[in-house]
Structure formats: structure tokens, C-alpha cells
A = this chain, B = another copy of it.
Amino acid sequence: MKSDLDALMLEKDLEAILITGPAQHNPAMVYMTGGGHVSSADLIKRRGQAPVLFYNPMERDEAAKSGLTTKNLMNYNFSELLGQTGGDYQRAIAKRYQHMLTELGADRGNIALYGRSEIGTFYAIFSALQNEMPEINLVGEINNSVLMLARMTKDETEIERIRKMGKVTTEVVGLVADYITSHRVRGGVMIKADGEPLTIRDVKQRINLWLSERGAENPEGTIFAIGRDAGVPHSSGNLDDPLELGHTIVFDIYPCEAGGGYFYDFTRTWCLGFAPDEVISLYDTVLTAYNQMASQLQVGKPFKEYQDAVCDLFSAQGHPTIKEDPQTQTGYVHSLGHGIGLNVHERPWSGSNSDEKDCLVPGVVFTLEPGLYYPDKGMGIRLENSLCVRPDGTMEVLADYPMDLILPVKSS
């Protein structure tokens, strides 16, 4: 949680953190500012002190809405800095950072960098800053970033926002099911009023619309993939594909609050009308795995223990898994889950390489999503809910929705 930041910074010997970029679709900045229409800003938090938001004067009102201490970037005369550096933008911006850091007393020690922006531009600027200030050490954290560690556990306000997105998500999933099954069938394909086949494009357009109506968006898209595409976990589906009966549809939806806020993550696998025996059997295996894992989850355990367990479970039934063959593209090919928050994928990780810190402790919000994939057989199954570890150690599924495989359709 945010209140852990100073302790985490101390543990990692960070003197300050520096976040840059917009306040939308930029998790680190959203985390510290609450979001809002700030298109470009810098935030510096020195250890033990409150964060300071540096804003462009055109955005002073939006910056003020953050409730943080704010400073106008115009105070650092950029034309003068540009003069001092002989017109070198990179060094002029670096010098501005130097002034900002120095003013806050963060002029030595480790300073960690965060924010989503243009990596090339900032590689250049921060290389120049490191040059200007040899007494600091600019750190780009890959694993164990203090911000990601802080964000790994959520407070009640954050959990409630994710729960709300869960409600939005499952409402939209319900609307999609109703929409699809309201169509007639002809020749094994869902048909629209105009006689044309109902396609994935039609479905996705509705999804976007219904999310938007509910104050949500899906900046990373939606997976709605049928047949062979359902067998490729991250295929988003072919827009022109018609909705055919009896083929697996993997519907993985991961919207966030509009403007790039908290995400939800949810998957169901459907077959329209009926399912072949082979699909039913695969689905039963995945559902059983989901239920077993869900019932075994214990507070405080490393997430990867369950990845290990589900691999063994699938292996025992003859499915290839990435535990034995990390390169397999059939069977069980991904990890059991991940944290969710301002990133759709964040800590805790459940992969076999994940850290001891990736544990299911209270405040953690995570997905549980076993799946089995056989693209060459034209099928894939994944079932996913998002859960939260409650303060009492129980696991709460944040939004309920039936697990059913078959969506009944009207006889033609």
C-alpha cells in the first residue's frame, strides 16, 4: 500500500522516486496523483516527505485536483537553461531535473525512475542527468520495484474500485451472452436480421459500447476468439469470423476505469448450442483445476506454489505443460494468474521464476485462470476470475458469474 512506500524506499536505500509522463494510462503517475487530465508532468517524492507534482502552467487546475503539493515547471526558466547548454534540449531538460531534485534535497543517493512515456527520449534525458549529477545514482528497477511492491497490496478504496469494475465487466459479459443468443441460427451459424452471419466484429463493437456506457474502457483490447484462435491464448480473435455453433469461444475481457484506472480481468469459455465430447472433457478438466486451485488457496503462500500444483494436475492427465517443456504451445502454456490493479498484469506473479515476495497476503488482488489449448484441434479453454485476499485471510471472488460452457441458442 501507498503507506508502505517510505519503508520500502528505506529497505532499498532509495533517496527519492521520480515519476514522469501523463496522469492517464500511466499507472505510476495515476497511483500517486489519482489520475486526471494532466498530459505531462513530473512527480518527485523524497523518502520521508510528501510527493511534489511539477506541472505545466496550462494544466495548473488539473494538477491542483490531485490534492498534492504542486510546483509550476515554468519557475525553472527553460529558455535560460537552453542558453546555458548551447541549445541542447536533452541537457537543458536534465538541468531542469537537477534544479527540481536539488530544491527537494534529493541531490545524492539512489533515485528510482518510473512512468510510462517515450523510452528513447527519457533514456537520453536521464543519461544526461546522470552525467550532470554524478553524486546521484539513477536506478531503473526491473524486479522488486518499490512502487510495484507497494501497489501489490491494495487498500479498501482500491479494492472497491476493482470490485466495481468487476460488476461492470460481468454485466457486459451478461449482455454479450444475451446479445449472441438473441440471434437465429442458420446452417450452424448465428445470423443477423439482415441474413448476414453474426461476426466477432459485431460482438466487439457492442462490448466497447457497453463498457463505455459504464465509464469503462478496454485500452488493451478484448479477446474474443473462436476455434483455432481460441487455442492460441493471446489471439484476440479474427473480426470477420462468424459465430459458429459447437466451437470453443474464449472470451477474455480486461477493462479499466476510463482514463486508465483500475482494471478487472475475467474469462469464460463458451460453446454456442452444443459442445463436442472432446470439448466437454477438456472443459471439465479446466473447471476441476479451477475449483481445486480455488479451494486450496491459502493466505501467505507464494503464488507460484499453485502454478506448480496446477502443472502437476494437468500433467497427471496427460497434458503437456510449461513445467516440463517451457516452449510447449499445446496443453497448459501460461501461468495460473497474476496481480491486477492499475496494470492489468502486475505483482504478485505466479510464474515458476517469481519471487518469494509474490505471496497471497491480505490486500492482494489476483486472477486465477487455468487453461488448456489445442490449436491444431481447433479448441482452447480458459476460465478466469479475479479474487482478493481479505484481511481475515479468506479469498473473495470479486464478481460472480456462471461458469457454464454451453450457451443455449434458439432452434432455427
Binding site for B on A (CB under 8 A): 20-22, 24-25, 36-37, 39, 56-62, 74, 79, 82, 89-90, 93, 112-127, 138-143, 145, 205, 208-209, 211-213, 215, 217, 219-221, 223, 229, 232-236, 258-260, 326-327, 329, 333-334, 353
Contacts and interface: CB of A to CB of B under 8 A. Distances in A.
A122 B220 CA distance: 21
A272 to B, nearest CB: 22
A234 B142 contact: no
A378 B285 CA distance: 65
Contacts of A145: 120
Contacts of A119: 20-21, 113-119, 122-123, 126, 140
Contacts of A112: 120
Contact of A123 (B22, B140, B223): B140
Please classify the interface of chain A as helix (H, G, I), strand (E, B), loop, or mixed, using the class held by over half of its residues. Answer: mixed
B123 A126 contact: yes
Given A58-B232, A124-B141, 5 more contacts: A89-B142, A119-B140, A121-B141, A122-B140, A209-B213
Q: What is the copy number of this chain in the assembly?
A: 2
Give 9 closest A-B pairs by Cβ, nearest first: A124-B140, A113-B120, A37-B236, A123-B140, A120-B140, A212-B212, A119-B122, A58-B234, A61-B235
Q: Which of A20, A56, A119, A123 gathers the greatest number of chain B CB atoms within 10 Å?
A: A119
Contacts of A113: 119-120, 123
